[in-house]
Amino acid sequence: MKKKIVKWTLILYPIYLLLVWLYLFQWSDFGVPAAYQGSAADPATFMTDRQLELSQEYSRYRNFLSLATIPLEWIIYLGVFLFGLSHLFKKFGESISRFRIVSIPIYVLLLSGLSWFLTFPFDYAYRFLSVRYGISTDTFSGWMRDEMISFWIGYITMALLITVLYLLMQRFEKRWWLYAWIGLIPFIALMMFIQPVIIDPLYNDFYELQDKQLEEKILALADEAEVPADRVYEVNMSEETNSMNAYVNGIGSSLRIVLWDTTLTRLKDNEVLFIMAHEIGHYVMNHLYWNLVGVLAGSFVGLYLTYRILTWLFRRYGKRMNIKGVADIAGLPVLFIVLSILSFVAQPIEMTFSRGAEADADRYAIEMTGDVDAAIGSFQELTVNGLSDVNPPAVIKYLYYGHPTMMERIHMLEEYQK
């Protein structure tokens, strides 16, 4: 059984990579549809030939990495399980302490560390591409620092969630998934609250916007939209990237309006105001809360399906896999594979809803500011600085694009102008 799985993995994964390469580099058309040629949405009207060439190269290589890593997580967890590492991790944790509240976090640390080590070459490949194409300006030491922060935040969060989950599995054989979902509600709300004030500052320095005149204009937009904000924050992202961004996040007293300093230096004030009006639109239309509803609904379905799948798997193959039951921590890699596959299946649905919300925020922003030229200019500048692909291949769009393509966004603005 193990030999067959390894054999077919070694055969199918290279074939998958070949098909991905052919799809992105041979079969996908990076051209501009005739209906958009010569319009403001046509990159040839605002990008040089060299920028267009770099944009297409960067997009192809980055998209290849993204698609290549989809099954990688499944392969890693499958290997951990098949080669007995999962049982070794379990035994080591239990040798440290017989209490599951201690042994489970130790297991999670070993599994997380191994997974991070095995995926590190792909993470570094992403960084290499970003540096080579002038997107990233971060030093290797700065990048590694952020990697370590992300690892430990991810580990602490995962260790807490997995420990609680497996204690629930042990206590409630048939209802653990429901109690786990109920516990997610306050946890997600807490994370939304602490993200802007505790987690984000671990990566970058946040300070009050230096341009007070621009801050007054942004706060005037916020006041008009009844957004309860009394200051605008600036974050020093120029140390890491040439990309631009702005956002409104947090809930209650942790609400923050944030601008990357790269956005401030590369966009005109009226273009910045359009970007901020877009972010304010998300707040006004309660997209943050609708996103929370979506996450909770998706997690409810996902946890229930996971419960059904794991119950079936371990009843049928538990003895062969040397797994005592759903609550056996040695089966965690199987749980992760199931959750990852379910997440992958749900991702296009999530992206579809996200693109709809982003399009609504674009319309809100142009209606609020009324400055079409500034709106188009901001999107064109975002495209140039990020070497964005205005017309990505269909698979990439539906899997990864939480926004409409830049071509679609700029075209919408042109239609609004008419």
Give how far Cα 76 sits from Cα of 91, 319, 338, Å.
Answer: 20, 22, 13
For the question of residue 279 being annotated catalytic, the response is: yes
Say which of 279, 328, 389, 408 is annotated catalytic.
279
Cβ partners under 8 Å of residue 332, min gap 6: 86, 107, 108, 111, 162, 166
Residue reference for tokens 């951990």? 80
Q: Which residues pair with 5 in a beta bridge?
A: none
Measure CA 118 to chain center: 20
* Order of all β-strands in the sheet with 206-208: 206-208, 232-235, 256-260, 246-249
What are the DSSP E strand ranges found in 48-113? Answer: none
Say how far apart CA 89 and CA 61 lie, in whole Å: 36
For the question of residue 362 being annotated catalytic, the response is: yes
Cβ partners under 8 Å of residue 193, min gap 6: 250, 251, 252, 254
358 marked as binding residue: yes
Instruction: Give the type of residue at 311.
Output: T
287 marked as binding residue: no
- Across 352-384, b (16+ Cβ under 10 Å) vs e yields eebbebbebbbebbbebbebbebbbbbbbbbbb
Q: Is residue 233 classed as helix, strand or coil in its secondary structure? A: strand
Cβ partners under 8 Å of residue 299, min gap 6: 181, 184
Q: Is residue 167 classed as helix, strand or coil in its secondary structure? A: helix
Say how far apart CA 89 and CA 87 lie, in whole Å: 5
Q: Is there a contact between 361 and 269 (Cβ–Cβ < 8 Å)?
A: no
Q: Is there a contact between 350 and 298 (Cβ–Cβ < 8 Å)?
A: yes
Q: Is residue 242 classed as helix, strand or coil in its secondary structure? A: coil
For the annotated catalytic residues, the residue numbers are: 279, 362
Q: Return binding residues.
A: 278, 282, 358
Q: Return binding residues for Zn(2+).
A: 278, 282, 358
